[in-house]
Structure 1
């Protein structure tokens, strides 16, 4: 039973302010005045919002905070999030040793050396979609013609999922990640994706290949439902996050012409620029949730056993104590200590792949299209405020 005090409780989630790239002002104010502050969630339950960089890393690196949503007091950000986290959870909603056992089965697929070997193939994919986008007269929607299909095709190739089915899994992914969807909608989308992946796993038993799903099936120690659960996580996360980062990162750079000029003048800045964009944008906008298994002190607050915690990655990445001048986008900044991928044993498994895709996509885009610009006023761009992963609905561009 949660006992978070109600005094000066914030309503979560809060509305964004004038800058579409900045966290909600209420969270920024909390970081400055009360870094661990109580929040009220959609169902009336309460949790602690953790906003500072140091505290977020401390919570995410502490095994006394559980990722298992089946624990009493775990904070859910919507009815759909609860359905997804409790029913048939993936390994990111498990604690060690079970989490570590399943994660280890995939670690080798995403080590830096193996991901770097994919560079020529990813470059070819990026070039191909950019060729297609520029084959007709502008404007074009960067989201649908470039930012979304690139990571979708890459993750399909790695998993062994037929890319011709991308409309199906992209539509279902959006349902799973939309905070406005009901538990029933989430359940239906998850079950349909799970059936699709279970049937695919069954085909891989008969016709094995060298891709991830086939290799998981071939282990012999995983049920078909376990293979589908692991594949579902990789399929959804593998394209949604990178797609939104590509489009939002493009918009951020177009809105900061001096920073874009630096990047164009010195292409060697691209790796650091991607880290800075990850920090500056922090697209996992609803934070990362945990529940305390025992009393734990965070800053000036003792979180009781059974109390939920929401680690706000976006404010942690705008913490002046960790990143001086944090409100400014600086492509030359050393930003590697950001927490855009989380922190601790549950941090994003696919981050080497996401980094490489972003480096290649953004470098190629701005190199090949030196006159790239927005095709509509920025006020007309619709942002994805109600989803787990922040981004834009569409990004009309011209060149």
Structure 2
């Protein structure tokens, strides 16, 4: 095929394509009656609800395009207005509900406060307890203390210690002796630590009333008196030693050995009141470890108590009862006796020479 013929054929094809894309091309064809009926039914449907879904369908349905867009904008504005009104109504409904919630919450809180306020006040319990204990043969009703929380119990007992007289303390000890097992578990530690112990430490002169009460306590709960009273007293500054002496002498010989072990475990420096206490332990048979600790305590304060007659007498009594000292222990005691300036020095030297 020549180039000229090929060019003519291409031109013909291009003209046919343009005719097919133009309205003139479609005017050459007619629709069947069946197809026209279907299109008419679609036109009728587009005039109703479906046209509301999208305004552009109205254009297809044959309505004026400007009117369609005008209605669409009006509809959108109406929808937005309706939405705002609906939101305002919703907010108005929500606010009372929220107010009701917080009102109920506050009301519940107030009722709880009223309930707690109805409980006996701490000061009332304190005054009632002290008043009962200060009577003749008065006793503490431990049921009163059950109304106290754990946080309030110790402050109340601390205040009782400051308010009660020796008579009140005596009645308290008598009350403690009648406690149930549950009450002992709950209150014994607190009463010993925060009431009896401070009272014993602050005593400036002997009290037979309190001594008799302590004796009864030792009989009823010896382990607790050892743990909560005796051991804490060992490093306290006592003005009167009658009560701790009473405690020691209330135990049998076997228990005294345990108390002496506690003494030697907790006492690192000999105080003046320890001297009289050690006199009460001379009846205990000492093992090597006990003897070693005692001689070191003596050595540490030998010069300080060199003129103290009570200390000199204690050293003499110790040497008389413990003649089987090791060489190291004997050397320490020789140094102790060498600096002693009491009338017991010569007898002590004689005992050491004969060992």
Instruction: Report the TM range for the smaller structure's normalisation.
Output: under 0.3
> In proportion to residue count, which structure has more helix?
2
* Structure of greater relative contact order (alpha carbons < 8 Å, 6+ residues apart): 1
Q: Say which structure is richer in strand.
A: 1
Name the larger-Rg structure. 2
Q: TM-score, normalised on structure 2? A: 0.19
Query: Under a length normalisation based on structure 1, what TM-score does the superposition of the two structures give?
Result: 0.18
